[in-house]
């Protein structure tokens, strides 16, 4: 019995990587490339980075490579000429890539742009390795309904949710008292608000323990990332918001914890290397080897913990309030945050404007119930429009005050 399960879990698994050129995407490519016979590649997708996408497609002998930006099609086609690898472009082509028959799909696009492609993979009943947290934040309840309806398997890739998944008793959820999400605290963990008000893009993306894409790095600096993760955890594990706590743990060794009603607390530990949670999802239910540095607790020596500071980091409060409010509130939170973070990365607004714009957009728009995906898209579009207006007004204020 055990031997048969081992054999089945070692069988080749055809994979598609959505967002293959990003931080999670490239680390997934790294793992897949170590065992090409076991992980043949169906499709790879990117937004604009045709150089890297074409190199990855050649290296992994993918059947299809897709760029979301149609203007990049000619460049991709040229770089793949003579390889026999199909090239395509456009948002619909990314969705079509997710529809192709891969057993396992890595959802590693950043932001709500991942909603359509992730949904396409879910509707095929695929195993979806899920990094793209904004998708669950903007459409959590509907997405989980789709997962159930189509018999898809959602495997969390966020290190915190992967940790919880590994110690969560799905058979006896009533025995779970609370989830505890750990947070590094980000680059501004011990900085005051005056420092944050003047923080630059470079300071905000310089994460102390994880190397990640620009958007999630800024989210870590505001701690909105933990707010998004709280909402993600609520939908993934079905635990109410008031039983999900956040604990700042700067060393990022304990990736999260589950407390049971008897007082037992189970945790998953490891060095901060995303290849460990990605490999957990890639091999699931088997474990596969990774080159991640082994955890040496003697070397780590001291693990410290502190409560998050709600005054210096209001994003966590905003995310909790959005989840409590329900309906379109998390969709609005995430969309306004995407707009504001991009404006900060483009140096159009200051660091503290991000939380202000999110809070104002949440207050300005109705938190309507989301009956279907069209309602999600409408709420997302309304929030983006509102937040863009606030970014523009902030820019005008900044110019006027100089
Ligand atoms: N990085 C981490 O360690 C980490 C950890 C946990 C969770 N996550 C989550 O995983 C997701 C990806 O994060 P990341 O850090 O890997 O981001 P990233 O480095 O910015 O990569 C994003 C990927 O998505 C593609 N992309 C961007 N906009 C797109 C669009 N409109 N349509 C289609 N593809 C698009 C990018 O293509 P181009 O390269 O062409 O721009 C790239 O391949 C996020 O939701 C993040 O919160 C990340």
Distance 173 CA to ligand 1 centre (A): 32
User: Would you say 75 and 94 are in contact if contact means Cβ atoms under 8 Å apart?
Assistant: no
Distance of CA 313 to the CA centre of its chain: 20
Q: Which two tokens stand for residue 158?
A: 């966020």
CB of 132 closer than 6 A to ligand 1? yes
d(CA 393, CA 372): 32
Q: 340 pLDDT exceeds 80?
A: yes
Q: What is the mean pLDDT of residues 314-320?
A: 98
Average pLDDT, the chain: 95
Cβ neighbours, 10 Å, residue 164: 27
Instruction: Identify any residues that bridge with 15 across adjacent strands, giving them in sequence order.
Output: 41, 104
Q: What percent of the chain has pLDDT over 70?
A: 96
Q: 6 pLDDT exceeds 50?
A: no
CA distances (Å), origin 19, targets 25, 44, 47, 316: 5, 7, 7, 27
The whole-number pLDDT of residue 5 equals: 41
SS3 79: helix
Helix (H) or strand (E) holding 358: helix 351-364
Q: What percent of the chain has pLDDT over 90?
A: 94
Instruction: Identify any residues that bridge with 41 across adjacent strands, giving them in sequence order.
Output: 15
The whole-number pLDDT of residue 9 equals: 62
pLDDT tens, residue by residue, 251-269: 999 999 999 999 999 999 9
Q: Which runs of E-coded beta strand occur in 71-186?
A: 86-89, 104-107, 127-130, 153-156, 176-183
CB of 212 closer than 6 A to ligand 1? yes
Which of 44, 47, 236 has the most ligand 1 atoms within 8 A of CB, as the residue to mutate?
47
CB of 353 closer than 6 A to ligand 1? no
pLDDT tens, residue by residue, 197-234: 999 999 999 988 888 999 999 999 999 999 999 999 99
pLDDT tens, residue by residue, 241-253: 999 999 999 999 9
Give 337's contacts (C-beta < 8 A, 6+ positions apart). Answer: 219, 224, 228, 354, 358
d(CA 114, CA 118): 6
Q: Which atom of ligand 1 is nearest to the CA of 49?
A: 40
CB of 137 closer than 6 A to ligand 1? no
d(CA 56, CA 51): 9
Per-residue confidence at 383, pLDDT binned at 50, 70, 90? very high
Distance 280 CA to ligand 1 centre (A): 19
d(CA 137, CA 322): 10
d(CA 357, CA 115): 23
């Amino acid at each position: 019995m055990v031997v048969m399960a081992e054999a089945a879990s070692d069988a080749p698994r055809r994979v598609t990587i959505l967002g293959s050129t990003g931080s999670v995407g490239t680390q997934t490519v790294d793992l897949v490339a170590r065992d090409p016979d076991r992980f043949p590649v169906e499709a790879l997708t990117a937004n604009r980075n045709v150089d890297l996408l074409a190199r990855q497609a050649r290296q992994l002998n993918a059947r299809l490579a897709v760029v979301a930006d149609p203007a990049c099609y000619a460049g991709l086609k040229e770089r793949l000429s003579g390889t026999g690898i199909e090239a395509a472009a456009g948002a619909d082509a990314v969705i079509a890539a997710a529809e192709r028959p891969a057993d396992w799909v890595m959802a590693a696009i950043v932001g709500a742009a991942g909603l359509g492609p992730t949904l396409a993979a879910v509707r095929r009943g695929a195993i979806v390795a899920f990094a793209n947290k904004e998708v669950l934040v903007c459409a959590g309840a509907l997405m989980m309904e789709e997962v159930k309806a189509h018999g898809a398997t959602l495997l969390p890739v966020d290190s915190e949710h992967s940790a919880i998944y590994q110690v969560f008793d799905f058979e006896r959820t009533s025995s779970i008292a609370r989830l505890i999400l750990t947070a590094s605290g980000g680059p501004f963990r011990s900085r005051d608000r005056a420092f944050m008000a003047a923080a630059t893009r470079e300071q905000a993306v310089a994460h102390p323990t994880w190397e990640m894409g620009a958007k999630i790095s800024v989210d870590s600096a505001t701690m909105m990332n933990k707010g998004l993760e709280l909402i993600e955890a609520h939908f993934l594990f079905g635990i109410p918001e008031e039983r999900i706590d956040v604990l700042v743990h700067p060393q990022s060794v304990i990736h999260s914890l589950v407390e049971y009603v008897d007082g037992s607390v189970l945790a998953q530990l490891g060095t901060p290397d995303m290849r460990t949670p990605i490999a957990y999802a890639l091999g699931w239910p088997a474990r596969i080897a990774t080159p991640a540095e082994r955890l040496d607790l003697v070397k780590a020596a001291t693990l410290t913990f502190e409560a998050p500071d709600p005054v210096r980091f209001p994003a966590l409060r905003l995310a909790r309030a959005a989840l409590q409010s329900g309906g379109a509130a998390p969709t609005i939170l995430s969309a306004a945050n995407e707009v504001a973070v991009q404006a900060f990365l483009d140096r159009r607004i200051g660091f503290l404007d991000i939380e202000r714009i999110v809070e104002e957009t949440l207050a300005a728009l109705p938190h309507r119930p989301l009956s279907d995906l069209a309602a999600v898209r409408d709420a997302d579009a309304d929030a983006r429009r509102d937040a863009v207006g606030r970014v523009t007004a902030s820019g005008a204020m900044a110019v006027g005050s100089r």
